[in-house]
Amino acid sequence: MTSLLVRRALPEDLEEIMALLAQDSMHYYEEPAAVSANQRAAFDEIDTDVNQDLLVGELDGQIVCTAQVTWMRMLAADGGLYCQVEAVRTDSAMRGHGIGALLMESIEGEARRRGAARIQLTSNKERTRAHTFYERLGYVASHVGMKKYL
């Protein structure tokens, strides 16, 4: 396999990222049929925030995965940094090639470079394969993830 290039998303990647998100079996929200003005504005907001990174992974010039990372400074851990990972998706046609692991390793590498105290994410209780995937990468299912939709 050609190595995965993980990079910050560009505005022209939005259609492909939204297509990856739309593949998801769990639809928490109704999304617009095409990339909307709100989503373009959201992209700009994320892109200009030093603590939010929208990432894509490219394989032979094709976007095959995405994730969003938020850097959260804490008082705990002597003023430590938490790395929160959201919206991790790999192209369903590209599963089983280790793409997701390479993406997560890239994020962990950046977290280590920044001296982060921990990486954290939540995964729907029904995604048991995802839990096994993250546990294999060293994540511990120590917490309950609680959501309230407004």
Name the site residues for a copy of itself (rule: CB under 8 A): 14, 17-18, 21, 28-32, 36, 38-43, 45-46, 49, 51-52, 54, 68, 70, 72-80, 82, 84, 86-87, 108, 111-112, 116-125, 131, 134-135, 137-150
Query: Which one, 1 or 86, has the nearer CB to a copy of itself?
Result: 86
Q: Name the maximum alpha-carbon separation found in the chain.
A: 45
Query: Which one, 2 or 37, has the nearer CB to a copy of itself?
Result: 37
Cα 75 from Cα 77, distance rounded (Å): 7
Q: Which amino acid is at 105?
A: E
CB of 3 to a copy of itself, least distance (A): 23
What's the DSSP call for residue 52?
A: E
CB of 39 to a copy of itself, least distance (A): 4
Query: Which one, 1 or 36, has the nearer CB to a copy of itself?
Result: 36
Q: Which amino acid is at 41?
A: A
CA distances (Å), 89 to each of 5, 28, 57, 79, in order? 15, 14, 10, 31
- Residues sharing a CB contact under 8 Å with residue 111, sequence separation 6 or more, in sequence order: 81, 83, 119
CB of 113 to a copy of itself, least distance (A): 10
CB of 23 to a copy of itself, least distance (A): 13
Query: Which one, 4 or 56, has the nearer CB to a copy of itself?
Result: 56
Q: Which helix (H) or strand (E) holds 84?
A: strand 81-90
